[in-house]
Amino acid sequence: MTDNGSNSGQNSQDARAIERRKAAEDAALDRELVARVRAGDHPALTEIYDRHGATVYSIALSVLRDPGNAEDVTQDVFVTLWTQPHRYNPEIGRFAPWFYRVARNRSIDVIRQRRREVMPNEPAVFDLMLGPADDAPDETVIEQSQAERVRAALTDLPDEQRNLIELAYFGGLTQSQMATRLDIPLGTIKTRVRTGLRRLREILDS
């Protein structure tokens, strides 16, 4: 009689072994490609793009929520890799996780710069929405929890307030631009944004 439990356990071990071997092969190939990029081999950069471009774009899009800006960040990240390949040190770990963090941090930089331009007096609460900009373990859990609180608080706002705040923060629109786009008086836009931000603070402080 066949021991199905034993077979299942063996199959699971075999699958994990295959996954580990594939991960090791992928990491080795990435290291080789980055070394070639350091030597000025442009086809190597193209191969890295083929391997990681879609993921980099997805990360940027998840942060920026705008396809055009996500494309710009993706291009910027790969241009930086081409011009400054020494920034990746193989001794710190595998290339892919490092590269994805670069993409996320660059996306966060874009969001924060946008916030400074369109909402210069509201820095604290919106920085929390982004979560941590690095992978410091002790800070990551805390900041992720804070980001979730801010996002949850946003859902408690009336649609007319939440939509304007998201347009300003994620869309990068000034209040004048929102008034023009939505055909709403500028004074109404300012009142809704101000009221929404005040309510957001009250929810977070409660």
Q: Judge if 85 and 102 occupy the same domain.
A: yes
Residue 206 is given by DSSP the state -
pLDDT at 138: 40
In whole angstroms, give the CA distance from residue 25 to residue 2.
34
Question: Is residue 184 a contact partner of residue 191, using CB atoms and an 8 Å limit?
Answer: no
Are residue 96 and residue 5 in the same domain, yes or no?
yes
Burial of 70 (0-12, 13-18, 19+ CB in 10 A): buried
Name the amino acid, one letter, at 156. Answer: D
CATH number, domain at 157?
A: 1.10.10.10
Query: What's the pLDDT score for residue 153?
Result: 81
Give alpha helix (H) positions in the chain: 4-38, 42-64, 67-83, 95-118, 123-130, 137-155, 159-169, 175-182, 186-205
Q: How many CB atoms lie within 10 A of CB 65?
A: 15
Asked if residue 70 and residue 145 are part of one domain, the reply reads no
Kindly state whether residues 56 and 95 are assigned to the same domain.
yes
Please tell me whether residues 206 and 110 are part of one structural domain. Answer: no
Tally of residues, the chain: 206
Same domain, yes or no: 36 and 83: yes
Task: Write down the pLDDT at residue 146.
Answer: 59
Average pLDDT per 10 consecutive residues for the chain, totaling 206 residues: 60 73 90 95 95 94 85 94 93 91 89 66 52 46 58 85 80 79 90 84 77
> Which domain-ending residue is among 102, 118, 134?
118
> 148 with 71, same domain?
no
Number of domains present in the structure of the chain = 2
Same domain, 92 and 154: no
Residues 127 and 189 in one domain: yes
Please check whether residues 206 and 162 belong to one and the same domain. Answer: yes
Distance CA 185, CA 164 (A): 13
Domain boundary among 118, 139, 165: 118
> Could you tell me if 199 and 161 are in contact, meaning their C-beta atoms sit under 8 angstroms apart?
yes
Residues 1 and 96 both lie in one domain = yes
Dig out the tokens for 178 from the structure: 């929102």
CB 28 within 8 A of CB 94: no
| Domain span at 30 | 1-118
Same domain, 125 and 105: no
pLDDT at position 121? 57
Q: Write out the two tokens for 48.
A: 């890295």
The DSSP letter of residue 12 is: H
| Residue 2: predicted pLDDT | 53
d(CA 81, CA 116): 27
Cβ-based neighbours of 23, under 8 Å, separated by 6 or more:
none
